[in-house]
Amino acid sequence: MALPQAWHQRLRLPAVAAPMTDVSGPDLVIAAAVHGIIGTFPTHNAKSTDELDAWLSHIAAATKRTDSVSSPVAPVGANLVVHRSNARLSGDLDCLLRHRPEIVITSVGSPAAVIGPLHDAGILVLADVASLRHAYKAIESGVDGLVLLSAGAGGQTGWANPVSFVRALRNDYDGILVLAGGISDGHGVLAARAAGADLAYLGTRFIATTESLASAEYRQAVVEATLDDIVSSVQVSGLSANVLRSWLEAHGVTQAPPTGLDGNTHTGFAQDRLLAQPNVWAAGHSVSGIDAVLDISVLAERLAHEYQQAQDLLLQAPVNGISRRWR
């Protein structure tokens, strides 16, 4: 399935505000959607399924087109951790089926068991994957698209090169491809499109927004960090995750544990372990492109401008395939 045609009119640029533990809540999702960027959050950010129910009602009301919300509103999505250790999986799934957000993004496990009910409810299903093996399994199980988690992504990270990952799938797969990892501006969004992705997935960039749930100190640390300050650790959830070195050092972890050839150390994911570590300062390589904490209205404007600027730059009278700027 390709990106729904109607979304082209609803998106200011082909971008998703990615779901982030302890960072994405209703304010971030609503602000992103109202400003033309797909807004998403993990269901576990709500403290209970009842709170999730209230969040989804609030988000639906605030993103409904009314006189005060008159321009097109981008879709909204929820991230559901489908790992067996998620004690709320069944309750949160039922809640999503009742509220019918336009998109559900599954992560940390096989989406197979939830695709049927989600499709029956008319919800588009994307599976978050970090390897070709998992990508093919998700495609076989019938997802509408994939989120390709690549190297440098904030939080639980991928290890694959982003361009290689998209190219390995794009020629044979006509479903939706979303590229995640290391994208903080409109130039990066265009790079994702040029590689063959339909959408770019921006996490770290949205930590440093006024609507995020991150503390002021965490937002500022993201603004001040460069990609050299990002280290990979399994301390957070049992899977390899990118976090700010300053947070690890403040918590007495000075060295990133060694990782295997696939980038993971295979200690195994556990949802309760992830949720038992609130206020982790996770962030990815894209911190280098973040210079201020912004309102999402300003960020959306900036991203759209950069996206246009990047296209214009590439179209500047190329001579023999080489842009004038490089001669």
Ligand X SMILES: Cc1cc2nc3c(=O)[nH]c(=O)nc-3n(C[C@H](O)[C@H](O)[C@H](O)COP(=O)(O)O)c2cc1C
Rounded least distance, CB 284 to ligand X, Å: 3
Report the residue from 74, 114, 126, 283 that binds ligand X according to the rule CB under 6 A.
283
Report the residue from 17, 20, 96, 166 that binds ligand X according to the rule CB under 6 A.
20
* Contact mark string toward ligand X, 185..214, x via CB under 6 A: ----------------xxxx--x-------
Rounded least distance, CB 286 to ligand X, Å: 4
Rounded least distance, CB 106 to ligand X, Å: 8
Look at phi and psi of residue 3 and say left if phi exceeds 0, alpha if psi is from -120 to 50, else beta: beta
Residue at shortest CB range from ligand X: 203
Report the residue from 282, 290, 296, 299 that binds ligand X according to the rule CB under 6 A.
282
Rounded least distance, CB 285 to ligand X, Å: 6
For residues 201 and 307, which CB has a smaller minimum distance to ligand X in the complex?
201
For residues 14 and 155, which CB has a smaller minimum distance to ligand X in the complex?
155
Rounded least distance, CB 233 to ligand X, Å: 13
286 binds ligand X (CB under 6 A): yes
Q: CA triplet 186, 192, 197: central angle to 5 degrees?
A: 135
Rounded least distance, CB 253 to ligand X, Å: 17
Report the residue from 3, 7, 15, 19 that binds ligand X according to the rule CB under 6 A.
19
23 binds ligand X (CB under 6 A): yes
Rounded least distance, CB 122 to ligand X, Å: 22
Rounded least distance, CB 155 to ligand X, Å: 3
How many residues in the shown chain lie near ligand X by CB under 6 A? Answer: 27
235 binds ligand X (CB under 6 A): no
CA distance 118 to 299: 32
183 binds ligand X (CB under 6 A): yes
* Contact mark string toward ligand X, 139..178, x via CB under 6 A: ----------x--xxxx-----------------------
79 binds ligand X (CB under 6 A): yes
Q: Which CA distances in Å does 175 have to 4, 135, 221, 288?
A: 11, 11, 37, 31
Rounded least distance, CB 156 to ligand X, Å: 6
Q: How many CB atoms lie within 10 A of CB 87?
A: 12
Q: CA triplet 53, 58, 60: central angle to 5 degrees?
A: 95
**All residues at 6 or more sequence positions from 99 whose CB lies less than 8 Å from its CB, including other chains:** 53, 56, 57, 60
125 binds ligand X (CB under 6 A): no
Which chain residues interact with ligand X by CB under 6 A? 18-21, 23, 42, 79, 107, 128, 149, 152-155, 180-183, 201-204, 207, 282-284, 286
